[in-house]
Amino acid sequence: MTRGITGLVPARFLTIIAHLVIVIMIFWSRDENIKMCLPESYTSEQYRLKDTQLIVGLSVSLGFFALELIGFLGGITMFMPFQSLLSTCVHCGAAVALSYYLFDAWPCDSYWYIFGFCNAFPAFTEIITMVGVLWLKKGL
């Protein structure tokens, strides 16, 4: 019996890519978001510190995207319904939230909430799923 491609597979791919594109756009235009975190009169040291924090968060996000895309495009978790549904939902939510974050110039500290719920959590579940699949496949 063969399984057809469900709607979750393309939806998951599209939402991950949409989230990834928005994170890359935030990399390019992070200046306004950083200024929203700082007081009216700020020093260049304060600006540099917030900029570094945001760059680290965005870089870790890109690393988590790499993990998720390896599991997904490698076929390890592509047809796992729970992982696909979870990933689709959180990345869709992240794309919407980060769009507001980018266009409404939300303070840069709000990025960490979106990062935790919509990037770190699905990457963590992806790692657990990949380890489970690979270990069970080997019979360990």
* Angstrom distance (rounded) from CA 91 to CA 93: 5
Each residue of 54-99: pLDDT tens digit? 999 999 999 999 999 999 999 999 989 999 999 999 999 999 999 9
In contact, 91 and 118? CB cutoff 8 Å: yes
Q: What is the mean pLDDT of residues 97-105?
A: 94
Give CA–CA dist 86/72, Å, rounded.
Answer: 13
Phi, psi of 52 (to 5 degrees): -65, -40
72-96 burial, b if ≥16 CB within 10 A, otherwise e?
Answer: beeebbbebeebbebbbebbbebbe
DSSP classification of residue 42: -
Q: Work out the pLDDT band at 139, boundaries 50, 70, 90.
A: low
Give the whole-angstrom CA distance, residue 129 versus residue 69. 13
| Six token digits for residue 29 | 């235009």
Residues 96-104 have a mean pLDDT of: 95
5-55 pLDDT, tens digit each: 578 899 999 999 999 999 999 999 999 999 998 999 999 999 999 999 999
